[in-house]
Chain A
Amino acid sequence: MISIEQLYKSYGKLEVLKGISLEFDTPGRISAILGPNGSGKTTLMKSILGMVLPDKGDIKVDGKSVKGQWAYRKRIDYLPQIARFPENLRVRELIAFLHDLRHSDTREKELIERFGLEPHLDKKLGNLSGGTKQKVNLVLAFMYDSPMLILDEPTSGLDPIALLRLKDLILEEKSRGKLILITTHIMNFVEEMADEIVFLLEGNIYFRGKTEELKTRFHEPSLERAIARVLGEKKINGHSFKLVNELVS
């Protein structure tokens, strides 16, 4: 479904991706892409969506290179990290707008119910709280019902109930055979949801495998601690990492 071959990207002198190759080809699997800030997670996801243009390498979605293409994005839903929308549109209008943009069937009604957005539909987006905006964000991301899902920090700003509903929703999508990529800093969320972890470090894949594998390899009871160990080891090996705390916190 998504295959990445030898992907390089640098911003000026800063090399962010150093020849990453990855395949996501199992429907119904949730992959968590982890790594400290600046490790290239967001760049990788944005490359798949064509928002970042790689220097070298190729990305194929359903077997076709995405270079210079845009129509393939019909098959991917994306949840951006920051939920900010045109301030003077009403929630209803924004949803209608995104519905208009793609001519596919959408299921916003069901999602609005699920996240309890009905009372907010006629409010202007500029007047919504952060949590409500994130719910709108979720509706917009999930409404197209595409076979692939890319979620960037899906949990930010959500109250516990909404978070629970989101988890249910993701699991439902998984059971419907969707391919799901998630980045997050919340390790509990990863442990609970993800089938596998792709751990990026300094623009390379440091680890890919099941959560359990990572935990057992480092003899740690939790993923959080396992990852702290990963970063700690790197430090012992002579690399400098100031990012441990950031990641863990």
Chain B
Amino acid sequence: MKKIFQYTLFDLIRSRWSLFYLGFFLLLTIVLLSFSGGVSKVIISLMNVVLILCPLIATMFGVMYAYNSREFTELLLAQPIRRTSIFGGQYLGLGVSQSLSLLIGIGGPFLFYGLFRSGEIWNFSILLVNGVLLTFIFSGLAFLIALRNENRIRGFGLAILSWLFFAVIYDGILLLTLVLFREYPIESLALGLSLFNPIDLSRILILLKLDISALMGYTGAVFQRFLGSGLGMSLALGMLLLWIGLPALGIRWVALRKDF
């Protein structure tokens, strides 16, 4: 697995996409840091980028990589290596290459502007951690979708749809549900449903740092317990890790049974 990972990473970090992705983040962060008022504002702007763009790019990148490497994967399959090593290595390479673009693209300018010594370091770290987690989750989902669908058009479609679902549609449905049932005790529902969407989970994790003032204003006891203690953060992190684990297990399951 280590070698497959190494070479996949080696291949991917030199791809045009990775460089483009890196360049985009560098440019965006530098522009934001140079032209906007404060670091906290930059972090809020970057939060939206990380929550929406990281999953989108991970999705696109994941599907594309899975389909483009199809033939080479066959060559690897004919080698004396376990299937799990091949797909595990490719998945890791995929996730790590994008995470590197993200970390360098956003972290580099922050480092350069000397902000690691500022008080925003924790907010900033939580942003990056979430970016990395989301990258792995959506790379995994996309990779899984591509493995399960021989038809590329269909695979691309499903992957984009899954991104759209988690990034936009899910919250729309959630909001609609909350507004429709607002006469009922819905705070557990509101929190519970958020746990099933990785993007919402990440958002809440970041909110716990950035917007705790607003979150503490809400009256419900469940909220208070969830947000006030370490429970919220641990639970959200745990769920995110689960979200990484499930697609990864899915990839393993499909990989072990699939005909190539």
Chain A interface residues toward B at CB < 8 A:
9, 11, 46, 49-53, 70-74, 76, 78, 80, 82-89, 93, 97-98, 100-102, 140, 150
Given the complex of chains A and B, what is the CA–CA distance between A76 and B11 in angstroms? Answer: 26
CB distance from B192 to the nearest CB of A (A): 39
Please tell me which one of the listed residues B3, B4, B7, B77 contacts residue A49 in the complex, with CB atoms under 8 A apart: B77
A50 touches B77 (CB 8 A): yes
Which residues of B approach A to under 8 Å, CB–CB? 3-4, 7-8, 10-12, 14-15, 68-72, 74-83, 257, 259-260
**Measured between alpha carbons, how far is A201 from B8 in the docked complex, in Å?**
39
Find B69's partner among A53, A86, A101 (CB 8 Å cutoff).
A86
- Given the known interface contacts A80-B71, A85-B72, the answer about A52 and B7 at a Cβ–Cβ threshold of 8 Å is no
A25 to B14, CA, bound (A): 45
Q: What's the nearest-Cβ distance from chain B to residue A124, in Å?
A: 8
- Taking CB atoms, residues of chain B closer than 8 Å to A9 are 259
CA distance A84 to B70 in the complex (A): 8
Of listed B3, B7, B8, B78, residue having the most chain A CB within 10 A: B78
22 A–B contacts from the bound complex (CB under 8 Å): A9-B259, A51-B259, A70-B81, A73-B80, A74-B80, A76-B78, A78-B78, A80-B74, A80-B78, A84-B68, A84-B70, A84-B71, A84-B72, A86-B7, A87-B11, A88-B10, A88-B14, A89-B10, A93-B7, A101-B4, A101-B79, A101-B81
- For A98, the closest partner residue in chain B by CB is B79
Interface core residue of B11, B15, B71, B81 (most chain A CB under 10 Å)? B11
Of A71, A80, A93, A102, most buried by chain B (CB within 10 Å of CB) is A80
Contact partner of A86 among B11, B77, B257, CB < 8 A?
A: B11
Give Cα A97–Cα B4 distance, bound, in whole angstroms.
8
